[in-house]
Structure 1
Amino acid sequence: MTERTHDTLELGDIQRGVLSPRPTPYAATYILFRIDDRAHGRELMRRASEVVTAATDSMSPLGETWVSIALTCSGLRALGVPQESLDTFAWEFRQGMAARAKVLGDTGESAPETWETPLGISDVHVVLTALAPDPAQLEKAIDHARPAYHRLPGVTAIWRQDCYALPTETEPFGYRDGISHPAVEGSGIAGSNPLETPLKAGEIVLGYRDELGGVQTPQPDVLGRNGTYVAFRKLHQRVAAFRRYLKDSSTGPEDEELLAAKIMGRWRSGAPLALSPLRDDPALGADRSRNNTFLYEREDPAGFTTPPGCHIRRANPRDAAVAGAPRLHRMIRRGTVYGPPLAEGILEDDGADRGLMFTFIGAHLGRQFEFVQSQWMNDSVFFGSGDARDPIVGSNDGTGDFTIPRRPVRRRLPSLPRFVVTRGGEYCFMPGLSALRWLGALKD
């Protein structure tokens, strides 16, 4: 078959969860399934093709809700996808997230042997994600999806994680989240930074030209095209420890908030240091038309305003000339809160499990998600600071530090502990709707 390389996105065949921004507020759930009977698994795929929301559906019959389906490599194998086809998928995907733990910094407390069962083991075959504006509508979305797996005894639900997003759009550490996302050519969805050129479609969706002019499509074409790779991670956040560290490292409340901003690169309101370097600006932080419109290289190359090692500058160096072309490592990131919030002012851990369900979406697991995790989150060679790690999500062990450029003397925060612990995760493939039908029609 001749490979199609035109660049007009086939939005009617792409799952909506790939490209669409999420509503605010919203509720979500992740349900994992194990396939014990191949025929039932294939029937699940056939039914799912009728339930999953396409990117062309700006409004589903249930309102601003949608359902997505993704599969692990073990899941594709359980459906009977031939090995010669599996061999055309990214090798990181074929290995699985648990096998890539050292590269990702999932060591010590975050190592796979400590992960929440069944995350990271071969029993996880299918990930169903449902999303809606509130819990009541979420349950309706799940009811809408239930016919896809109802009365299929060979398909077993083995894990569920309910999540939510607050009207404030903040995550457990108290920062406004979900601000930065790229535009993708042909999607019709604007990016959050008008100074950033849209990414080639092939950076996010398989089967289209990427920034290097190549086309990645697992075979056969009907299976790979219009799909993408997804990394799901459950990240536990040590909120009380983070608050204590800020308090112990500061000279008072104002300095504490400044340190929080320097560590993140934004004030808690979402206002970027790049646009509001001296004080928080909540109006700016809430303004989607302004809160992400900035670059680094021309105005702040040395990081005196936004430290080079802060979280948002590591995650997206924008126009900085680091590690080649930052655009090659750009991806879609989404975080969804789980667990109860820790009350304001509490500095002692209450024992509750809270954090983010983190999702990466992109066509290149290696040079996008894994590169950013290993080279930008857990190393600092790219900006000349050796092996320093991200101060918030890095795999810190109490021996590293965080440097804030400052005249006449830089400021150094020592002994960074690990604030985020990986509780588990999976590498998945999110097929197009045609691929779901193809999987449903497989024969032995």
Structure 2
Amino acid sequence: MSGEKQIALELDDIQRGVLSPRPTPYAVTYLLFRIDDRAHGRELMRRASAATTSAADSTSPLGDTWVSVAVTYHGLKALGVPRESLDTFAWEFRQGMAARAKALGDVGESSPENWETPLGTADVHVVLTAVAPDIAQLEAAIDRARLTYEHLTGITAIWRQDCYALPTETEHFGYRDGVSNPAIEGSGIAGSNQLERPLRAGEFVLGYPDELGGVQTPWPEILGRNGSYAVFRKLHQRVAAFRRCLKDQSTSREDEELLAAKVLGRWRSGAPLALSPHQDDPALGADPHRRNTFLYERDDPAGFITPGGCHIRRANPRDASVAGEVRLHRMIRRGAVYGPPLADGAVEDDGVDRGLLFAFIGAHLGRQFEFVQSEWLNDGVFFGSANTKDPIAGAYEGVTDYTIPRRPVRRRLPQMPRFTVTRGGEYCFLPGLSALRWLGDLQD
């Protein structure tokens, strides 16, 4: 992008939850609402515009505590947004996640008819997200969010999910999570990979040029500009089955950890195989300035170090030669776990629900989230492995195989069961602060 004029993002109009990394550790609560009275829904938007922290407030007295507000397509209709405006939103957003289930691989036990109520239904209109460094501060953030809907009898709370991120940053399978995110021009926030150029702002925030030079903005401009799309997915994790699979197919504890690294592409500490191929390096895994500075095509095109089918290489092939331009499919990803950890060493399920609340933020639902999910996680054609699935997050029924390139003979892990199951999700719109006020001022 040398020689190009840098875009100045209107940070004071963008919700902070769009661009700001979450603190470590942190706690987060997702609250879902149904709008039963249009006037009360609009009042909710007015109040939310005052309660929501902007991306310019990174040094506010609230520190790493903030509230975000998202609206579904059904929510926009409930607020009375005119049809000519609704029709300018992304068609995937208008359809909703449940209608996109087949394309996403949400079939069988992950299909919408098996989702947790009310996820995926027309009742979900508004999603409030409260984020804070700890439970005490989270309660203060929830109290702040409560002010937006308090005494509004036409607003009904229909679902709540409490999540958290540990100081170790690990999720239930035991891996350090959330270690890779892109740099976005004009945000002032550094990306995790020093070898990756910042992406154009329009890849993540509506109303700005994207990597193709186009500008995506729902109409009217005050509604679309400085907004983003958000994807929320509740994913149940079969931790005992994952542990048992690794244990059954390994020859020692050391081999078990190597298999875990080959399946994900990183050791559990977060250290990538690309930089530490033979053993874990916890110091590397904990260093945000070093743990992402690597490429694939240049150093490991055949995947002998980082297998082409592993989770992180599928989710972000970096410089690898794949169908399409990798930069067009980059995502901002946030994840938080729910439910208590499974006891250390346990390989039998305890019957407790636990998993990950996954959040994607971007400006292109189709070529970002849906493309990665359907073409890279649920298919292997792009790296020459037919229709193989991601071994961690892939959508398949029954069992699958996983192959690890190795000399002189590749290693095959047969009969791997599915480890994650979709419990539900939503496609949402994160309006800018001006858009929240516009929604609040709508008139019939």
Interval containing the TM-score (normalised by the shorter chain): over 0.9
2:259 aligns to what SS in structure 1? helix
1:155-190 alpha-carbon deviations (Å, 9 max, x no partner): 011000000010000000000001000000000000
How far 1:326 moved relative to its partner? 0.5
- Tell me, in whole angstroms, the C-alpha distance in 1 between the residues paired with 2:145 and 2:415: 47
Q: Match of 2:352?
A: 352
Which letter maps to 1:303?
Answer: G
1:128 aligns with 2:128: yes
Q: Match of 1:79?
A: 79
Matches within 5 A, 1:120-269: 120-269=120-269
Gaps of 5+ in 1: none
2:379 aligns to what SS in structure 1? coil
Q: Match of 1:443?
A: 443
How far 1:6 moved relative to its partner? 8.9
1:95 aligns with 2:95: yes
Which letter maps to 2:91?
Answer: W
Contact conserved, 2:6 with 2:185, CA < 8 A, in 1? Answer: no
Contact conserved, 1:52 with 1:67, CA < 8 A, in 2? Answer: yes
Give the direction of change, closer, same or farther, for the CA distance of 1:77–1:274 in structure 2 (3 Å limit).
same
Contact conserved, 2:51 with 2:67, CA < 8 A, in 1? Answer: yes
- Tell me, in whole angstroms, the C-alpha distance in 2 between the residues paired with 1:218 and 1:53: 22
Q: Match of 1:309?
A: 309
Gaps of 5+ in 2: none
1:274 aligns to what SS in structure 2? coil
Which letter maps to 1:310?
Answer: C
How far 1:400 moved relative to its partner? 2.1
Q: Match of 1:41?
A: 41
- Tell me, in whole angstroms, the C-alpha distance in 2 between the residues paired with 1:72 and 1:396: 28
How far 1:342 moved relative to its partner? 0.5
- Tell me, in whole angstroms, the C-alpha distance in 2 between the residues paired with 1:145 and 1:77: 22
1:96-126 alpha-carbon deviations (Å, 9 max, x no partner): 0000001101011100000000000000000
1:55 aligns with 2:52: no
Contact conserved, 1:332 with 1:361, CA < 8 A, in 2? Answer: yes
How far 1:401 moved relative to its partner? 0.9
- Tell me, in whole angstroms, the C-alpha distance in 1 between the residues paired with 2:249 and 2:106: 27
TM-score of the two chains, using structure 1 as the length reference: 0.98
Contact conserved, 1:62 with 1:141, CA < 8 A, in 2? Answer: no
Q: Match of 1:407?
A: 407
Contact conserved, 2:6 with 2:186, CA < 8 A, in 1? Answer: no
1:408 aligns to what SS in structure 2? coil
Contact conserved, 1:28 with 1:138, CA < 8 A, in 2? Answer: yes
- Tell me, in whole angstroms, the C-alpha distance in 2 between the residues paired with 1:168 and 1:6: 36
- Tell me, in whole angstroms, the C-alpha distance in 2 between the residues paired with 1:36 and 1:16: 28
How far 1:63 moved relative to its partner? 3.0
Which letter maps to 1:97?
Answer: M
How far 1:146 moved relative to its partner? 1.4
- Tell me, in whole angstroms, the C-alpha distance in 1 between the residues paired with 2:96 and 2:397: 25
Say which is worse superposed, 137-146 or 259-268, in terms of deviation: 137-146
- Tell me, in whole angstroms, the C-alpha distance in 1 between the residues paired with 2:15 and 2:248: 46
Say which is worse superposed, 315-324 or 257-266, in terms of deviation: 315-324
Contact conserved, 2:399 with 2:418, CA < 8 A, in 1? Answer: no
Say which is worse superposed, 67-76 or 56-65, in terms of deviation: 56-65
Count of aligned positions: 440
1:233 aligns to what SS in structure 2? strand
How far 1:323 moved relative to its partner? 1.5
Q: Match of 1:285?
A: 285
List structure 1 runs of 4+ shifted beyond 6 angstroms: none
- Tell me, in whole angstroms, the C-alpha distance in 1 between the residues paired with 2:59 and 2:152: 29
How far 1:354 moved relative to its partner? 0.6
Q: Match of 2:23?
A: 23
Q: Match of 2:363?
A: 363
Contact conserved, 1:234 with 1:425, CA < 8 A, in 2? Answer: yes
How far 1:416 moved relative to its partner? 1.9
Q: Match of 1:327?
A: 327
Which letter maps to 2:199?
Answer: L
- Tell me, in whole angstroms, the C-alpha distance in 2 between the residues paired with 1:60 and 1:102: 43
1:74-102 alpha-carbon deviations (Å, 9 max, x no partner): 00000000111010000000000000001
How far 1:414 moved relative to its partner? 1.1
Contact conserved, 2:26 with 2:166, CA < 8 A, in 1? Answer: yes
- Tell me, in whole angstroms, the C-alpha distance in 2 between the residues paired with 1:435 and 1:120: 24
- Tell me, in whole angstroms, the C-alpha distance in 1 between the residues paired with 2:117 and 2:432: 28
- Tell me, in whole angstroms, the C-alpha distance in 2 between the residues paired with 1:192 and 1:32: 31
